[in-house]
Structure 1
Amino acid sequence: MDVNEELKVAAWRKATKSASNQGNCLEVAPLSGGRVGLRDTEAPEKAPFVVSATVWDAFIDGAKNGEFDF
C-alpha cells in the first residue's frame, strides 16, 4: 500500500489533554515501517507530515527530556 492510501485509513489519535483546548491539536498515526503521520486537527484535509521512526523517537525523547519546554 502506498503512503497516501495508508494515510487515508490510518488510525489517527490525539492526546486526551486536547479536550481542554476544544480539541485543537496534532493527531498522530502509526504507519508501516515505524513511520508516523502527523496532522493538524483544525485542517485534517491538508496533507499530513510523515516522519521516520528515527525522527519520531528523537522527538519523543526530546519532549520527555524537556528540550521543547518554554
Structure 2
Amino acid sequence: MIPELDGAMWHKSSYSGSANNCVERGILPTGRQAVRDTKDRALGALLFKASAWQAFVDAVRDGELDG
C-alpha cells in the first residue's frame, strides 16, 4: 500500500449503488487525487496530479470524452 493513501479523504460517487460496484475518489494530503475500486480496495489506487484530475473532470463535463 502506498503510505500517502493513509491520509486520503475518500468519497464515493453519488451515482453509486449499494452493491460496492463503483469507484471512490480520494483527496490526498499532498493535493494529489486517487481513484480506487470499491470492490477490491486492497489493489491500491491510481494517483493523479490535481491539475491532471481537473483536466479529466473538465473534459467529462464538456463532453470531450463522449464516444
Superposition TM-score tier, normalisation by shorter sequence: 0.7 to 0.9
Whose helix proportion is higher, 1 or 2? 1
- Give the CA RMSD over aligned residues: 2.0
Question: What residue number does 1:12 align with?
Answer: 10
Contact 2:7 2:28 in 1 (8 A): no
| Structure 1 residues without counterparts, runs of 5 or longer | none
TM-score (norm 2): 0.81
Q: In the TM superposition, what is the alpha-carbon distance from 1:6 to its structure 2 partner?
A: 2.7
Task: Figure out how many residues of one structure are paired with residues of the other and give that number.
Answer: 67
Identical aligned residues as a percent = 36
| Structure 2 residues without counterparts, runs of 5 or longer | none
TM-score (norm 1): 0.78
Contact 2:8 2:29 in 1 (8 A): no
